[in-house]
A and B are shown apart, each in its own frame.
Chain A
Amino acid sequence: MSDLPVLSLIVFTPLVGALLLLFVPGNAHRLIRWIALLASLASFGFSLALLGYDPAGAEFQFREELPWIPAFGMSYILGVDGISVVLVILTTLLSVVSIFYSWDPITTRVKEYYATMLLLMVGMLGVFVSLDLFLFYVFWEISLIPMYLVIGIWGGPRRVYATVKFVIYTLVGSLLMLVAILAVAIAHGSETGTFTFAYEQLRGFGYAESLQGLAFVAFFLAFAIKVPMWPLHTWLPDAHVEAPTAGSIILAGVLLKLGGYGFLRYSIPLLPDASVAFAPIIIGLAVIAIIYGALVAMVQPDLKKLVAYSSVSHMGFVMLGAFVFNQQGLAGAVFQMVSHGITTGALFLLVGIIYEQTHDRTIAHMGGLNARLPHYAAIFGLFTFASIGLPGLSGFVGEFLVVLGAFRYSGIVAALAMLVVIVGAVYMLWMFQRVFFTVPSGWMRAPWPRLRDMSRNEWLSLAPLIILVVALGVWPAPVLDMIAAPVDRIVEAASGAQGLTSLSWPWMGR
């Protein structure tokens, strides 16, 4: 391991890029795009160094530790375990993809756009590498504002409504989480005499039952809104429909993962008793989300909204896997996050490609695109199948593992989840059929002659995602090896948990 502060470089290179952009004249679009691309590429390059993470070694590697506000026990502690590593690489990769994809579509306020995207990167990456609860919270909030601006400035017609809804929803959850963070740190401090926000010290401490219950609810709200879990998901379709393509890629690909990551990194290890006690509720909500998302996706007339609702369903799998507390379920949850990031990111990108040309996403207005855009149809088909969970593509591995884990928890839950995989095939294939086969609609005749197949830039943006979706489907071992040890630790934390005496479920036989 080198002495370079790799994690700081990953997190703050985009910030340097954003600051550089301040000194570039606003009309030098080419230069602006190059600076943004190089900054994100540099960050991606640094993040590849994390592949040197040793799964058999210490839990958190590439650690950096500096005092920040010692008076309050707040420090600048960075470190990654296997889960963070895969999510960091996913983030930097999708950021590069979305910045590169934005090359042509974004033509207004170019400088502000790229600066905002780079700041967004800083926030998201910071969340994944922080090992101090206060630092984590700061990055968590920092990631909020750029997305607010991206949707609000470069979004569709109802962008203001969508973005304000997004920000208020998220803010309510995260502010309550702030109170919970303070309460946890204070409880630990008053008990041990050292007031600190350092994750490794706060974790594994036996917090009082009432505190665990309340703090868990606060953490749950923050993370569940982000995931989003049913019934807190209503901001998501609006945000996605109005967001520009690159915004959707990041939103679906990374921002939703912040919620899933929050559960795995903070909720369960910090508050294991409450996690175990609340698990049945969360599993119930997850199953509802899986079914509900799929059914609602089926009837969406808007292509982008369909993908958005499919996200609700897929992220339900993540939550289900996370709260059955066994290796298969948790590994599946993490894998599903990565896979969903790649697949859904790509699907949003593909939707964006057709939207840029026709300025319409209504499925009924399409049809027969296969004849005109064969390459586009082929790639769209690949990701459709990945989203369904076809064996051999990355989507399968995650869902299979989650269902396996769920089966060990309860046969009925697993059966319900499995059934929805079939519904997933229904809505995705039906959509694919209506968009690419049949005959072009009457509406389509007007833009038909102008339609072009994928451009070089679009190919280049999709290439890494195509490679990954196949590679991880065929050979998921590298990711699974990487996350095995941290997953075991989470299982261990949950298995030692007692639950809450004030909250027991009669049907659990406890």
Chain B
Amino acid sequence: MDAVDDLVTLLPELILSALVLVVITVDLFLSRPNKWLLTPLTVAGLILAGAALIPVWGTNETVYDGFYVVDDLSLFFKGATIVIGIFSALFAPAYLVSRRLPLGEFNAMLLFALIGMCVLASSSDLITLFVGLELMVMPGYLLTGFHKTDRYSNEGGLKYFLLGSFASAILLFGVAWTYGLTGTTSVVGIAAALEGQMSGALLVAIAFLTVGGTFKIAAVPFHYWTPDAYQGAPTPITGFLSVGPKLGAFALLVRVFAEALAPLRADWLGVFLVLTVLTMTVGNVIALTQVNVKRMLAYSSIAHTGYIMAGLAAYAAAPTRELAQRGIESILFYVLGYGVMNIAAFAVVGMLQRDQSRFGGLNSFAGLASRAPARAAAMTILLLSLTGIPPTVGFFAKLYVLLATVDAGLQWLAVVIVLNAALAAYYYLRVIVTMYMRDAESEPAPIDGSPLGSVALALSVVGVVALGLFPGPILDLLRASAASIF
């Protein structure tokens, strides 16, 4: 296949790259009152990029000498990336503009991160993988510190940057060891070379890859950057950071652990089981003690990471190929569902922060049900979804993970997951209690009611319920996607 044909399969990434340039250029020529036009522009571009995914569905081919793969798995990740991008672009403007933060730069950074996620999802070589990863996390560092005049934003950005660079270095070191041991950086090549192999040196490589990878998904005990970064970042950006880079990092984990290191899965399973249980339990227990909703959602995102990791553990423990595939499917479904519900939940927190002195404390939710019934109802559905109550996407996602773990023979892990879910119910319900069962403060903060945010919120709530009730169509896509790496 020649280079021109290869380009066609890269169309979504190319559209996104062109979009970045367009956004930056247009931004120069728009006067301040017209900056909002950048949002529809970005969203339109994202939809176009999403449409470009459709013709390549089912191609499943490796291009550029094995550096880049366009298989259904990558396309599913890219689709989810674009969905997350659209919601992020819609939720952010009201919050950013009211704080006089530049919208053009935000959109550009967001798009860069999205491109990084797409590259990550498509990488069939550890070098591409690393490039994609850095392209994804660099804008993340910048976005965290996006509120230049805010102390917490700066602190969060700096912490994220320092620890993130450190973890990237560790990951890179793991890549180097793997290359040294196998003589290749190709994912398929590594898998072939590792068949039936195990040595002390390999263990070191796996250890480095595990630490680097689990840092990026914010698994315990590599999660310390998360609460500060999430709390410091402007709230809608936190929404993006809690799902976008997480999706990318799980794409990385799938590529590295479920593809490259697949032959050694019995060896890395144990570590992942420990990390999975630790992550969900520690995340939930700390979230219980939080009185700030933004920080609470940050810790809860750690717990959700744990649930998703259980899917990877199920993959590794599964006795048959079919059941292993179910583990991967559960990761994909959870990442998508979690993406939609968590961005929206953070967005609601952001809407209550119109007054800049607000930090997303629980009391800003008091009496929301009578002040803004529609928003309170939307938040209730999102929180129920995060808890995992049917008929929402959060429930079905959890069910999928449970199904995968029980199928793989990890019944005890399923029990740990549901006990954690019950624990999490306590702090999610506390927000509902505050909204519906407590009276508003004497001088409640104003609520942001921009139409763009409202539409996006309505869309995500509809999505959360619709995907929970009728996940059928997505399931077919999922199965095809997960099948493409086996």
Cα separation A171 to B426 with both chains bound (whole Å): 10
Q: Does B472 touch A at the CB level, under 8 Å?
A: yes
Q: Is A152's CB under 8 angstroms from B422's CB?
A: no
Interface residues of B in 391-438 (CB under 8 A from A): 391, 395, 399, 402-403, 406-407, 411, 414-415, 418-419, 421-422, 425-426, 429-430, 433, 436-437
Residues of B within 8 A of A175 (CB): 418-419, 421-422
Q: Does A179 touch B at the CB level, under 8 Å?
A: yes
Q: Does B361 touch A at the CB level, under 8 Å?
A: no
Q: Does B127 touch A at the CB level, under 8 Å?
A: no
A182/B390 contact (C-beta < 8 A), A71-B472, A153-B437, A176-B418 known: no
Residue ID in chain A nearest B402 by CB atoms:
A182
Q: Is A138's CB under 8 angstroms from B390's CB?
A: yes
Q: Is A183's CB under 8 angstroms from B437's CB?
A: no
Option from B369, B399, B406 in Cβ contact (under 8 Å) with A186: B406
A153/B475 contact (C-beta < 8 A), A168-B426, A175-B419, A178-B402 known: no
1/0 contact string of A148-163 vs chain B (CB within 8 Å): 1100110000011001
Taking the closest CB of chain B, its distance from the CB of A207, in whole angstroms, is 14
Option from B403, B406, B414, B436 in Cβ contact (under 8 Å) with A153: B436
Residues of A within 8 A of B407 (CB): 186
A69/B415 contact (C-beta < 8 A), A175-B421, A179-B402 known: no
Q: Is B414's CB under 8 angstroms from A182's CB?
A: yes
Q: Is A71's CB under 8 angstroms from B475's CB?
A: yes
Q: Is A69's CB under 8 angstroms from B419's CB?
A: no
Total contacts A to B, CB within 8 angstroms?
84
Q: Does A70 touch B at the CB level, under 8 Å?
A: yes
Residue ID in chain B nearest A151 by CB atoms:
B437
Residues of A within 8 A of B384 (CB): 145
Q: Is A145's CB under 8 angstroms from B389's CB?
A: yes
Option from B390, B471, B472, B475 in Cβ contact (under 8 Å) with A141: B390
1/0 contact string of A240-257 vs chain B (CB within 8 Å): 000000000000000000
Q: Is B391's CB under 8 angstroms from A171's CB?
A: no
Q: Is B390's CB under 8 angstroms from A142's CB?
A: yes
Taking the closest CB of chain B, its distance from the CB of A132, in whole angstroms, is 13
Residue ID in chain B nearest A169 by CB atoms:
B422
Q: Is B422's CB under 8 angstroms from A172's CB?
A: yes
Q: Is B415's CB under 8 angstroms from A176's CB?
A: yes
A69/B390 contact (C-beta < 8 A), A164-B429, A183-B406 known: no
Q: Does A42 touch B at the CB level, under 8 Å?
A: no
Number of interface residues of B (CB under 8 A): 33
Taking the closest CB of chain A, its distance from the CB of B118, in whole angstroms, is 27
Q: Is B472's CB under 8 angstroms from A70's CB?
A: yes
Q: Does A144 touch B at the CB level, under 8 Å?
A: yes
Residues of A within 8 A of B471 (CB): 69
Q: Is A171's CB under 8 angstroms from B422's CB?
A: yes
Option from A68, A159, A167, A182 in Cβ contact (under 8 Å) with B403: A182
A69/B403 contact (C-beta < 8 A), A144-B389, A179-B411, A179-B414 known: no
Which residue of A168, A175, A183 has the most chain B CB atoms within 10 A of its CB atom?
Answer: A175
Cα separation A167 to B415 with both chains bound (whole Å): 18
A171/B425 contact (C-beta < 8 A), A176-B415, A182-B403, A182-B414 known: yes
Cα separation A148 to B422 with both chains bound (whole Å): 15
Residue ID in chain B nearest A139 by CB atoms:
B390
Taking the closest CB of chain A, its distance from the CB of B196, in whole angstroms, is 28
Interface residues of B in 155-199 (CB under 8 A from A): none
Cα separation A77 to B402 with both chains bound (whole Å): 23
Q: Does B223 touch A at the CB level, under 8 Å?
A: no
Residues of B within 8 A of A172 (CB): 419, 422
Residues of B within 8 A of A34 (CB): none
Q: Is A164's CB under 8 angstroms from B390's CB?
A: no
Residues of A within 8 A of B399 (CB): 178, 182
Taking the closest CB of chain A, its distance from the CB of B165, in whole angstroms, is 40
Q: Is A137's CB under 8 angstroms from B411's CB?
A: no
Residues of A within 8 A of B373 (CB): 26, 112
Known: A72-B475, A186-B407. 10 other contacts (CB 8 A): A69-B472, A142-B391, A144-B389, A160-B433, A160-B437, A164-B433, A172-B419, A176-B418, A178-B402, A179-B411
Q: List the 4 closest A-B pairs by CB distance, nearest first.
A: A175-B418, A138-B390, A172-B422, A71-B475
